[in-house]
Structures are given as C-alpha cells and as structure tokens.
Amino acid sequence: MTAARSKRGVAVSEGRKLQPTMDNLQVDAFRPADFMEMAHKHQLFPSHPWNVRAAIETIGALIFPTWPAIPAGTVVYDPCAGLGHMVVPLREYFPDVRGSDIYDWGKGFPIADAMTFEADAGDVESVAIFNPPFDGELGDMAEKMVYQAQKTCRHVIVLQRLSFICTVGRYPLHQANPIGNLKHFLPCTERCPMRLGEYDPKCNKPLEHAWFHFERGWTGNYTGINLKPGARARLYRQSDLLI
C-alpha cells in the first residue's frame, strides 16, 4: 500500500511506526508482526491520555452535580480497553474502573466482546467510556456498541471521529434513540490523531475527533461544547509513555 501524504509531507498511513527519540522514549515502540496484524484486525488505536483527562474534567461536571465528588458505588467501564491508555487516566478520577477487551493485549484485562457488553453494577451508577473501532470493515461497530452499552449504563461516552455526528443513518442514534439521545457533543479543539497499535504523543495526521455523551432517558437535543485549548500542555504526563 502506498502511503498518502499530507500537505506537511507527513505520511498518513497506519503502516509507519513510531521511531523513539530521547524526547519521546516509549519502551514498547517496536511491535512484532503478529501484534500489528491483530492491531489491524481489531482496530487498536490507543487514545491520548491527556485527551481522556480533558474530556472527563468537562463531562464529569455535566454528569455529576457534586463533581469532582461522585456518587458512592459509581462504576466506570471501558469495554474496548486495549493497552489501557483510557483506563489509566480514568482511574485518576474514579475509584472503580473496569476494563475489558476482545483480545488479550498483555495488560491483564478480562477478555470480553464489547458487542455483548453488560454492566454488572446497576445502570444508575454505571458509566461506559470507550474508544470503539472506526476504520474499514469495523467502521459501523461504534453505533452498535453504543446501543449495547446503553442497555445497562446510564451514561455512554465514546471517542470518535468528528464525522460520527453526520449521516442520515446515525440520526436515529443521536436524536431518535429509544434508550437515550446524544446529550453532549464535545469536539476536540486540539487534534488527537491516533496511531495503529501504539501510543504516539507526537502523531501528526489531519484527523478530527470528538466525544459523544449519550444519557439514558434523554429525549432532547444535544449541546455542543468545544474542549478548551491548552489541555494537551496541561494534562500531558511523561509517565503516559509507560502505560
């Protein structure tokens, strides 16, 4: 496959791997071929932890009136946990975060299919937050995973490409959803492009993303809130490279 090139001359291809430097040391930068094959199959695109923090600090205040305090018994699930780049920052805000994934990536998460995910702590105190597949043959799984998570979680929050807000086919999900409509739409003001199979804080691709928050029983229209600029500098942690 020939890599496309952006106007900046940066390859827009998931085949180009991160090359570690002294400023960007990542101990697992080089992956074996079988790992990358599974990463491609399951669309493993690790989230930027700084962006997860930015989203939670915004959405948390919208969900919980007592934020940063949260109701006792609140359980947060990530059914697409991957390498843990969302689970780790989530645990900075929530005491009970449970990750799982369809494949064993060597991080100790239980193996479970997000397409059949069910919360086990009661829907009132359950929140699902995840970064579902969005490329190629798996591109339609995000919508199905949202509906599935809504069955047992009061709040469902997903990170998706900005285009997820569009199309006639997704209108029912966002605004005619029998379980609960899209309540908050949070475009990522600062780009957070992700690389296949590994976390690369310096990844540079012309892709736009947003967070989508669905609330059980919500029948109104959604509110758009852009994440404030400066989150990358404020919330980036060097330790994220070791997740």
Q: What is the CATH number of the domain that holds 175?
A: 3.40.50.150
Q: Which of 96, 95, 119, 98 is nearest to 108 (CA)?
A: 98
**Domain extent at residue 54:** 42-242
Strands 209-215 and 155-161: antiparallel
Average pLDDT, the chain: 87
Q: Is residue 9 scored above 60 in pLDDT?
A: no
pLDDT per residue as tens digits for the range 18-27: 444 444 444 4
Asked if the structure places residue 17 within a domain, the reply is no
Q: Is residue 118 scored above 80 in pLDDT?
A: yes
**Can you give the pTM of this predicted structure?**
0.86
Q: Is residue 65 scored above 60 in pLDDT?
A: yes
Query: How many C-beta neighbours within 10 Å does residue 100 have?
Result: 18
115/51 Cα distance (integer angstroms): 25
Bridge partners (DSSP) listed for residue 111: 101
pLDDT band of residue 125 (cuts 50, 70, 90) is confident
For range 87-109, the mean pLDDT: 97
When divided into structural domains, the chain yields a total of: 1
Asked if the structure places residue 57 within a domain, the reply is yes
21/32 Cα distance (integer angstroms): 19
Q: Is residue 72 scored above 50 in pLDDT?
A: yes
162/211 Cα distance (integer angstroms): 8
